[in-house]
Structure 1
Amino acid sequence: MNAVIDRELVQGHLQKAPLPVDPVEKEAKKTRIKNLLKEKGAVLVAHYYTDPVVQELADETGGFIADSLEMARFGARHDAETLIVAGVRFMGETSKILSPEKQVLMPTIEAECSLDLGCPVEEFSAFCDQYPDREVVVYANTSAAVKARADWVVTSSCALDIVESLDAQGKAIIWGPDKYLGSYIQKNTGADMLLWDSSCIVHEEFKAKGILDLKQVYPDAAVLVHPESPDSVVDIADVVGSTSQLLKASQEMSNNTFIVATDRGIFYKMQQASPGKRFLEAPTAGSGATCRSCAHCPWMAMNTLDALLECLESPSELNIIEVSDSLREDALRPLQRMLDFTAAN
Structure 2
Amino acid sequence: MSSPIAFDYPQQNAAGATCTAQAWAKTPPQLHGTEKAAVIARIKQLLVEKDATLVAHYYVDGDIQDLALSTGGYVADSLEMARFGKNHAAKNLIVAGVRFMGETAKILSPEKRVFMPDLDATCSLDLGCDASNFAKFRALHPDRTVVVYANTSAAVKAQADWMVTSSCALAIVHQLKVEGKKILWAPDRHLGRYIQDQTGADMLLWNGACIVHDEFKAVELEILKAAHPNAMILVHPESPQAVVDLADVVGSTSAMIKAVVEGSATEYIVATDKGILHRMQQLAPNKKLIEAPTAGNSATCKSCAHCPWMAMNGLQGILDCLENASGEIFIEEPIRVEALGCIERMLDFTKNHPDLLAKAQHGFVKNIGAA
What TM bracket, shorter-length normalisation? over 0.9
Distance in 2, Cα, partners of 1:292 & 1:220: 30
Asked whether the equivalents of residues 89 and 110 of structure 1 are also in contact (C-alpha less than 8 Å), the reply is yes
Which of the residues 162, 177, 189 maps onto 1:179? 189
For structure 1, the residue ranges without an aligned partner over 5 or more in a row are none
Q: Which residue of 1 aligns with 2:216?
A: 206
Q: Distance in 2 between matches of 1:326 and 1:292?
A: 36
- 8 A contact 1:134–1:174 mirrored in 2: yes
Matches within 5 A, 1:188-199: 188-199=198-209
- 1:248 aligned to 2:258? yes
Aligned residue in 1 for 2:154 = 144
Match status 1:330 vs 2:338? yes
The whole-number CA distance in structure 1 between the counterparts of 2:47 and 2:227 is: 45
- The answer to whether structure 1 residue 54 and structure 2 residue 93 are counterparts is no
* Counterpart contact for 1:46–1:66, Cα < 8 Å: yes
User: Which of 223, 227, 240 is the equivalent residue of 1:217?
Assistant: 227
* Residue 79 of structure 2 corresponds to residue 36 of structure 1: no
Which residue is equivalent to 2:23? 9
Pairing 1:298-317 to 2, within 5 Å after superposition: 298-316=308-326
Question: Is 1:81 the equivalent of 2:91?
Answer: yes
Alignment of 1:156-175 (within 5 A): 156-175=166-185
Q: CA deviation at 1:69?
A: 2.4
Size of the aligned set, in residue pairs, is 339
Structure 1 residue 343: Cα displacement: 2.0
Is 1:261 aligned with 2:271?
yes
CA contact (8 A) 1:106 1:320 kept: yes
1:6 Cα shift? 5.8
Q: Which has the higher helix share?
A: 1
Q: Deviations over 1:310-336 (max 9, x none)?
A: 2221123xx010122222221111111
In 1, are the aligned partners of 2:281 and 2:287 still within 8 Å (CA)? yes
Amino acid at match of 2:174: E
CA 1:50–1:322: 2 relative to 1, 3 Å: same
Q: Counterpart of 2:328?
A: 320
Letter in 1 for 2:265: N
Paired amino acid for 2:56: A
Structure 2 residue aligned with 1:69: 79
- Letter matched to residue 349 of structure 2: F
Q: 2 CA distance for matches of 1:288 and 1:186?
A: 26
Supply the distance in 2 between the matched residues of 1:50 and 1:65 (Cα, whole angstroms).
10
- 5+ residue gaps, structure 2, are 1-10, 354-371
1:239 alignment counterpart: 249
Amino acid at match of 2:162: W
Residue 195 and residue 290 in structure 1: after superposition, are their counterparts in 2 closer, same or farther (change >3 A)?
Answer: closer
Partner AA of 2:98 in structure 1: V
Shift of 1:195: 0.4
- Describe the superposition over 1:267-318 as per-residue Cα deviations: whole angstroms up to 9, x where unpaired: 11111110111111100112798979811100001101121122221123xx
| TM-score w.r.t. length of structure 1 | 0.94
Pair 265,95 (structure 1): closer, same or farther in 2 beyond 3 Å: same
1:275–1:26 distance in 2 versus 1, CA, 3 Å: same
Deviation at 1:216, TM superposition (A): 1.5
Compare the two structures and name the one with the higher strand fraction. Answer: 2
Q: Bigger CA drift: 322-331 or 60-69?
A: 322-331
Deviation of 1:145 after TM superposition, in Å, equals: 1.0
Question: In the superposition, relative to structure 1, how do residues 223 and 36 fare at CA in structure 2: closer, same or farther (>3 Å)?
Answer: same
* Cα pair distance change 1:287/1:131, threshold 3 Å: closer
Q: Secondary structure at the match of 1:333?
A: helix
CA distance in 2, matches of 1:312, 1:267: 28
Kindly report structure 1 stretches of 4+ aligned residues shifted beyond 6 Å. Answer: 287-293
Identity of aligned residues (%): 59
* Matched position secondary structure for 1:149: coil
